[in-house]
Amino acid sequence: MRLRLVDRRRDDAWRPATDLWKILQAVGEPAGRPDWPLDWVLVDDDQMAGLNARYRGVDGITDVLSFSYLVSAGAGRPQLAGGQRHAAGDLWRDPVEAAARAAVGEVVLAPAFVAMRCREQGWSFAHELALLTAHGILHVLGWEHGDEAAAKTMRVHEVELLRAAGLAHPMLEGGRNTDGE
């Protein structure tokens, strides 16, 4: 997948540096089809809280939300077969969504909230963004983590996406890395 930066914040104080953007792009490269654009969306904390309430029915802010414009039932051969390039099942672009937008999905992040949590926990902000990006991409590709078995399977895919970018999974391989941010 090809990540496209979309900034919907009113305060655009932070943007990923070129080297971080390259890492995030590398996380997305082995996932989905290479020609599929995926919007990597930055929002303010209050915007994220509103999205969390509207789409998940949960009050308060969260770090990442994913919106997929792919469907698991379609006509003809799937555009991405289940098991290929980290797809949870056979996937087609939703024809209605494809007509309305170019992206196959959105990974929405609240960087101010993520940065605050990373400072409080002593985690690497860049590494956390990479993990959240991998996690969000997998949701776009149909993965869920509602039970222990599904969570383990999703984690295996997170590891693979992070390794493609030269990173270890911070929750499995020695804990969360820190970078002093």
Tokens standing for 139?
Answer: 């949701």
- What is the rounded CA–CA span in Å between residue 51 and residue 64? 10
Tokens standing for 28?
Answer: 């997305």
Tokens standing for 37?
Answer: 């654009």
- What is the rounded CA–CA span in Å between residue 137 and residue 165? 14
Tokens standing for 118?
Answer: 């990373």
Question: What is the Cα Rg of the chain in Å?
Answer: 16
DSSP state of 73: -
Tokens standing for 16?
Answer: 């990923």
Predicted local confidence at residue 61, as pLDDT: 94
Predicted local confidence at residue 168, as pLDDT: 81
Predicted local confidence at residue 147, as pLDDT: 87
Among residues 138, 97, 120, 116, which one has the least CA distance to residue 1? 138
Among residues 113, 27, 38, which one has the least CA distance to residue 68? 38
CA distances from 64 to 45, 79, 94 (A): 11, 26, 22
Among residues 109, 113, 79, which one has the least CA distance to residue 93? 79
Q: Which CATH class is domain 2-164?
A: alpha beta
Among residues 137, 112, 115, which one has the least CA distance to residue 126? 115
pTM score: 0.88
Tokens standing for 95?
Answer: 């024809």
The answer to whether residues 141 and 106 touch, using CB atoms and an 8 Å cutoff, is no
> pLDDT by residue for the chain (181 residues), tens digit each?
999 988 888 876 777 788 888 999 999 999 988 989 999 999 999 999 999 999 999 999 999 999 999 888 777 777 888 887 888 787 878 877 776 778 899 999 999 999 999 999 888 899 999 999 999 999 999 888 888 888 888 889 999 999 999 988 877 755 555 443 3
Predicted local confidence at residue 16, as pLDDT: 76
Tokens standing for 165?
Answer: 């970018």
- What is the rounded CA–CA span in Å between residue 81 and residue 128? 29
Predicted local confidence at residue 41, as pLDDT: 92
